[in-house]
C-alpha cells in the first residue's frame, strides 16, 4: 500500500513511540500525587507542555492538553459562547470549516446563537471584506481554520486577527492540518485560541492541545477537578501527553526540511505535463500546505479513479450514495462545478513518502486516466 493520506492521519513516529514506553511500563504515577512516582509523571507532562509551547512560540501555561482537534474546537466555541453570552450571541465562521467547527456552531444555533458562515473565493480563501461587514457589537468569536484539510489552502489569519483586534472580538483558528507542516507562531498570527491535533503530526490518535492566550479564561467543556489550569478536568493522559510533546519537538526540526514540498511539486508538475487540461488543481496554487495536492480529473469520477489505482491510500472528499456522487461541500463553496468536483482526489504526502512511490502512482494514474 502506497500511503498518500497523511491529512487523514499519520503513522506514529518511531521516536515518539520510544518516548512513550517508559510511561507505559514503569512511570505510572498520578501527576497529582505528592510521592516520587507522581513527581516523575508531573515533570514529564510539564516537559511535554513546554515542547508544544516551543513549537507554537508561546508560554507552557498557555497550553492545555485535550483528546484531539474536535475537543479543542468544541472547548473554544462552546466555552466562549457560554462565558461571553452577556456580551453577545453572534459567532462568525466560514463555509469550508471542518465538521468539528461547523457542528458545534450548528449546535449553538439551536440554542439561540446567531451563526454567520463566510463565503470563500475560487481558491477557498475567506472574503475579508465580508468578515468586516458581518462583525457587529454582538459578535463574540470568529473561528476560521488555518489551512483547509481538503485543498491545503492557507487562510490570512494574521489579517483576520487585525480586524478582530480592532473590533474587540476573540479569534480562534483550527490549525490541526497546519501544525508540523508550516511554521506556526501564535504571536505572529495574533490569535486568542489555536487547535492542535496529535495524529496529524505523527503522534497517536486521541491526543491534542489547545492554545489559550494568557489572561483569557473560558467555561470548561469538562468539569471536575482543577487539572490543566482548571480548563480541562480529568487525570492526565501521561503517555499521550509525552508523545505529543516529542512529536512537536521532532516537528520543530522537520520544518527545516523541504523534501515533502519538492515531492508534492514534482507530483503535480508530472501530472500536469502528461495530462494537461484533463487535470485541474483545486485550491490556491501558492498559499497552500506543502504536502497537499487536491486535483480533479476532468470528466472522471474520483472514487472510480482511486478504485482502479489499487493499493494507493488517498481521499476523494466526495460522497457516493446509490451510485450518485455529490461533490465535497468545500469544493462546492469554492464554486467548483459538479463535473470537475466529482473527479477530485486529495493526495497528501508525508515524512515517509518516497519519489519511487510517487513515480509508481504517476505511472498507474496515467494508465487509469488516459486509457
Hey, which residues are catalytic here?
320
Helix axes 355-370, 259-275, angle to 10 degrees: 20
Cell of 126: 475567506
Which residues have CB under 8 Å from 173's CB, separation 6+? Answer: 143, 144, 145, 146, 155, 157, 189, 191, 193, 194, 195
DSSP secondary structure code for residue 199 in this structure? G
Q: How far apart are CA 364 and CA 369, in angstroms?
A: 9
Burial class (CB in 10 A: 0-12, 13-18, 19+), 315: buried
Cell of 67: 483528546
Q: How far apart are CA 162 and CA 171, in angstroms?
A: 10
Instruction: Measure the N-to-C terminal CA separation of the chain; round to a whole number of Å.
Output: 23
Amino acid at each position: 500500500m502506497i500511503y498518500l493520506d497523511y491529512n487523514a492521519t499519520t503513522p506514529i513516529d518511531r521516536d515518539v513511540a520510544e518516548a512513550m514506553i517508559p510511561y507505559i511500563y514503569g512511570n505510572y504515577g498520578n501527576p497529582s500525587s505528592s510521592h516520587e512516582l507522581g513527581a516523575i509523571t508531573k515533570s514529564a507532562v510539564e516537559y511535554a507542555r513546554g515542547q508544544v509551547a516551543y513549537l507554537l512560540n508561546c508560554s507552557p501555561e498557555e497550553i492545555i492538553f485535550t483528546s484531539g482537534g474536535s475537543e479543542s474546537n468544541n472547548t473554544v466555541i462552546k466555552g466562549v459562547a457560554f462565558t461571553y453570552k452577556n456580551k453577545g450571541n453572534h459567532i462568525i465562521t466560514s463555509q469550508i470549516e471542518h465538521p468539528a467547527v461547523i457542528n458545534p456552531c450548528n449546535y449553538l444555533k439551536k440554542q439561540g446563537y446567531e451563526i454567520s458562515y463566510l463565503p470563500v473565493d475560487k481558491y477557498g480563501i475567506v472574503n475579508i471584506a465580508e468578515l468586516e461587514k458581518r462583525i457587529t457589537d454582538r459578535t463574540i468569536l470568529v473561528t476560521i481554520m488555518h489551512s483547509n484539510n481538503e485543498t491545503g489552502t492557507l487562510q490570512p489569519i494574521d489579517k483576520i486577527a487585525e480586524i478582530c483586534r480592532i473590533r474587540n472580538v476573540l479569534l480562534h483558528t483550527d490549525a490541526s492540518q497546519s501544525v508540523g507542516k508550516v511554521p506556526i507562531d501564535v504571536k505572529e498570527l495574533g490569535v486568542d485560541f489555536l487547535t492542535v491535533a496529535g495524529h496529524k503530526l505523527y503522534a497517536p490518535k486521541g491526543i491534542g492541545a489547545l492554545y489559550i492566550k494568557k489572561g483569557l479564561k473560558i467555561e470548561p467543556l469538562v468539569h471536575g477537578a482543577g487539572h490543566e489550569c482548571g480548563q480541562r478536568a480529568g487525570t492526565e493522559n501521561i503517555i499521550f501527553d509525552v508523545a505529543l510533546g516529542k512529536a512537536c519537538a521532532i516537528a520543530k526540526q522537520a520544518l527545516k526540511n523541504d523534501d515533502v514540498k519538492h515531492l508534492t511539486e514534482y507530483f503535480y508538475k508530472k501530472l500536469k505535463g502528461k495530462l494537461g487540461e484533463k487535470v485541474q488543481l483545486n485550491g490556491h496554487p501558492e498559499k497552500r500546505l506543502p504536502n497537499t495536492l487536491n486535483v480533479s480529473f476532468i470528466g472522471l469520477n474520483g472514487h472510480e479513479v482511486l478504485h482502479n489505482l489499487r493499493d494507493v491510500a488517498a481521499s476523494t472528499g466526495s460522497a457516493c450514495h446509490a451510485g450518485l456522487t455529490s461533490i465535497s461541500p468545500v469544493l462546492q463553496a469554492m464554486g467548483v462545478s459538479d463535473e470537475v468536483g466529482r473527479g477530485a482526489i486529495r493526495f497528501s504526502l508525508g515524512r515517509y513518502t518516497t519519489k519511487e512511490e510517487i513515480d509508481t502512482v504517476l505511472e498507474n494514474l496515467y494508465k487509469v486516466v488516459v486509457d
